[in-house]
């Protein structure tokens, strides 16, 4: 069983060590996250050649010193390392294992780092094919959002061989602040999906309970102060309060824009639910959270931060 083979996560110090000097990086997926991550690699002295089917993404990346390529094959030609951050299971599998994909075209001895959020079975399919072809592969999903990508403060959760993790550190350190080796192939995705399901559940619970207390007449500021100094305190109450105007840096205080989109929360909860179903791990709260965030999306608020769920509950409470 996959879950039994996964060892505990541990934090690795910021010491930089590499089995060889990796300088040439191919970067696939120059979107909201990848655009900034590739730019940070350039800032740290890596030569970065990028590929994205979106011309706008390529043009924006070229302004940050990334050389554009017209295909995956052209991007990975001569690369020491490939980094990708792509939208879905299918796109990642096609990009790595497709007939024009990375594994067919990348030089032997290179290292492949996929930072997309996908089903743990995706890296588990790519890993043996990559190994057979003489290249290393790690799953390295990230936490920290677009701001973390921009400021190079992302947390990387890595699954794969320890040697490949060690080799990836100079690149991961250029793009992030924390790096965890979580176990074998797929373990990074398991850690990421577990984290995001818990974030979705605590976000939903915070919105629900704050809405109730405020509707009962409590001053929202007083209520938040109580929660932050009592047993219900969490990242949601301290950093990401769903009630507008209480935490100035939270997305709720800027009309729920510029955070972690509700549609991405739905994607991650669906991936986590499918993983849980596969091992028959009960997720009653995760299932409710998935449904609630789906409702937010179906009402047309998929682009808003996931803490927008508070507005939906508030609307319900206002009904007689
Ligand atoms: P995005 O849609 O902004 O970017 C994805 C990019 O991939 C797009 O520019 C798209 O054109 C490109 N792309 C599609 N197919 C491609 C291919 N075959 N080769 C190369 N590029 C291709 O998405 P994003 O917000 O940057 O998210 C990317 C991944 O990161 C997702 O898996 C997401 O779940 C994960 N993630 C996102 C955040 C966030 O806050 N946005 C946080 C953590 C993790």
3-state secondary structure the chain: CHHHHCCCCEECCCCCCCCCCCCEEEEECCCCCHHHHHHHHHHCCCEEEEECCCHHHHHHHHCCCCEECCCHHHHHCCCCEEEECCCCHHHHHHHHHCCCCHHHHCCCCCEEEECCCCCCHHHHHHHHHHHHCCCEEEECCEECHHHHHHCCCEEEEEECCHHHHHHHHHHHHHHEEEEEEEECCCHHHHHHHHHHHHHHHHHHHHHHHHHHHHHCCCCHHHHHHHHHCCCCCCHHHHCCCCCCCCCCCCHHHHCCCCCCEHHHHHHHHHHHHHHHHHCCCCCHHHHHHHHHHHHHHHHHHCCCEHHHHHHHHHHHHHCC
Mean pLDDT value across the chain: 93
Last residue of a domain, one of 183, 203, 238: 183
Provide, rounded to the nearest whole percent, the portion of the chain with pLDDT above 70: 93
pLDDT in the model for residue 292: 97
How much distance in Å is there from the Cα of 85 to the middle of ligand 1? Answer: 5
Check whether 211 has a pLDDT greater than 70: yes
More confident position, 269 or 2: 269
Contact 114, 140 (CB under 8 A): yes
pLDDT in the model for residue 188: 98
Burial 91-106 (b: 16+ CB within 10 A, else e): bbbebbbeeebbbebb
Pocket of ligand 1 (CB under 6 A): 28-34, 51-54, 57, 85-87, 91, 95, 116-117, 142, 145-146, 260, 264, 267
Check whether 16 has a pLDDT greater than 80: no
pLDDT in the model for residue 318: 73
Tell me whether residue 9 is in a domain.
no
How large is the average pLDDT for residues 139-146? 95
Using CA atoms, how far apart are residues 286 and 195, in angstroms rounded to an integer?
11
Looking at the structure, do residues 167 and 239 belong to the same domain, yes or no? no
Q: Supply the residue whose CA is at minimum distance from atom 1 of ligand 1.
A: 31
How large is the average pLDDT for residues 251-259? 94
How large is the average pLDDT for residues 214-234? 98
Instruction: Report pTM.
Output: 0.92
Using CA atoms, how far apart are residues 302 and 179, in angstroms rounded to an integer?
30
How much distance in Å is there from the Cα of 34 to the middle of ligand 1? Answer: 7
How large is the average pLDDT for residues 62-73? 98
Using CA atoms, how far apart are residues 268 and 265, in angstroms rounded to an integer?
5
pLDDT digits (tens, 9 = 90+) for 175-195: 999 999 999 999 999 999 999
How much distance in Å is there from the Cα of 32 to the middle of ligand 1? Answer: 7
If one residue of 86, 94, 303 were mutated to test the ligand 1 pocket, choosing by the most ligand atoms within 8 A of its CB, it would be: 86
- 162: exposed, middle or buried (C-beta count within 10 Å: 0-12, 13-18, 19+)? middle
Catalytic residue among 43, 104, 192, 221: 192
pLDDT in the model for residue 20: 58
Looking at the structure, do residues 163 and 210 belong to the same domain, yes or no? no
If one residue of 50, 85, 178 were mutated to test the ligand 1 pocket, choosing by the most ligand atoms within 8 A of its CB, it would be: 85
Check whether 3 has a pLDDT greater than 50: no
Structure confidence at residue 255 as a pLDDT band (50, 70, 90):
very high
pLDDT digits (tens, 9 = 90+) for 278-308: 999 999 999 999 999 999 999 999 999 999 9
Check whether 14 has a pLDDT greater than 60: no
Q: Supply the residue whose CA is at minimum distance from atom 11 of ligand 1.
A: 54
pLDDT in the model for residue 1: 36
If one residue of 26, 33, 35, 96 were mutated to test the ligand 1 pocket, choosing by the most ligand atoms within 8 A of its CB, it would be: 33
- As for how many domains the chain has, the answer is 2
Q: Supply the residue whose CA is at minimum distance from atom 7 of ligand 1.
A: 29
Range of the domain at 85: 16-183
Structure confidence at residue 11 as a pLDDT band (50, 70, 90):
very low
Q: At 37, which CATH number?
A: 3.40.50.720
What would the two tokens of residue 320 be?
């007689």
Structure confidence at residue 320 as a pLDDT band (50, 70, 90):
low
How large is the average pLDDT for residues 312-316? 89
Tell me whether residue 7 is in a domain.
no
Tell me whether residue 3 is in a domain.
no
Looking at the structure, do residues 229 and 141 belong to the same domain, yes or no? no
Looking at the structure, do residues 79 and 105 belong to the same domain, yes or no? yes
Looking at the structure, do residues 195 and 177 belong to the same domain, yes or no? no
How much distance in Å is there from the Cα of 83 to the middle of ligand 1? Answer: 12
43 a catalytic residue: no
pLDDT in the model for residue 5: 38
More confident position, 14 or 275: 275
Check whether 6 has a pLDDT greater than 50: no
How much distance in Å is there from the Cα of 235 to the middle of ligand 1? Answer: 25
Structure confidence at residue 2 as a pLDDT band (50, 70, 90):
very low
Using CA atoms, how far apart are residues 175 and 309, in angstroms rounded to an integer?
31
Q: Supply the residue whose CA is at minimum distance from atom 25 of ligand 1.
A: 32
Q: Supply the residue whose CA is at minimum distance from atom 9 of ligand 1.
A: 31
């Amino acid at each position: 069983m996959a879950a039994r083979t996964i060892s505990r996560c541990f934090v690795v110090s910021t010491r930089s060590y590499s089995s060889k000097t990796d300088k040439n990086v191919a970067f696939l997926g120059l979107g909201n996250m990848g655009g900034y991550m590739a730019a940070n690699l350039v800032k740290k002295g890596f030569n970065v050649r990028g590929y994205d089917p979106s011309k706008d993404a390529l043009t924006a990346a070229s302004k940050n010193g990334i050389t554009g390529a017209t295909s995956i094959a052209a991007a990975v030609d001569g690369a020491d390392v490939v980094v990708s951050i792509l939208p879905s299971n299918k796109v990642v599998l096609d990009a790595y294992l497709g007939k024009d994909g990375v594994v067919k075209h990348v030089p032997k001895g290179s290292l492949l780092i996929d930072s997309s959020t996908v089903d743990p079975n995706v890296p588990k399919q790519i890993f043996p094919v990559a190994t057979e072809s003489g290249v290393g592969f790690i799953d390295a999903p990230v936490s920290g959002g677009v701001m973390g990508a921009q400021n190079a403060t992302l947390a990387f959760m890595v699954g794969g061989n320890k040697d490949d993790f060690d080799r990836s550190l100079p690149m991961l350190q250029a793009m992030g602040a924390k790096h965890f080796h979580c176990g074998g192939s797929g373990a990074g995705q398991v850690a990421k999906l577990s984290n995001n399901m818990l974030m979705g559940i605590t976000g939903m619970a915070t919105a629900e309970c704050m809405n109730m207390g405020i509707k009962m007449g409590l001053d929202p500021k007083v209520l938040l102060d109580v929660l932050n100094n009592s047993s219900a305190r969490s990242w949601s109450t301290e950093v990401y309060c769903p009630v507008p105007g209480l935490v100035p840096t939270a997305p709720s205080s800027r009309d729920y824009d510029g955070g972690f989109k509700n549609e991405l929360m739905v994607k991650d909860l669906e991936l986590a639910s499918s993983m849980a179903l596969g091992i028959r791990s009960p997720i009653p709260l995760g299932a409710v959270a998935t449904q609630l965030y789906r409702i937010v999306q179906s009402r047309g608020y998929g682009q808003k931060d996931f803490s927008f769920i508070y507005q939906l509950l508030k609307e319900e409470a206002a009904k007689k």
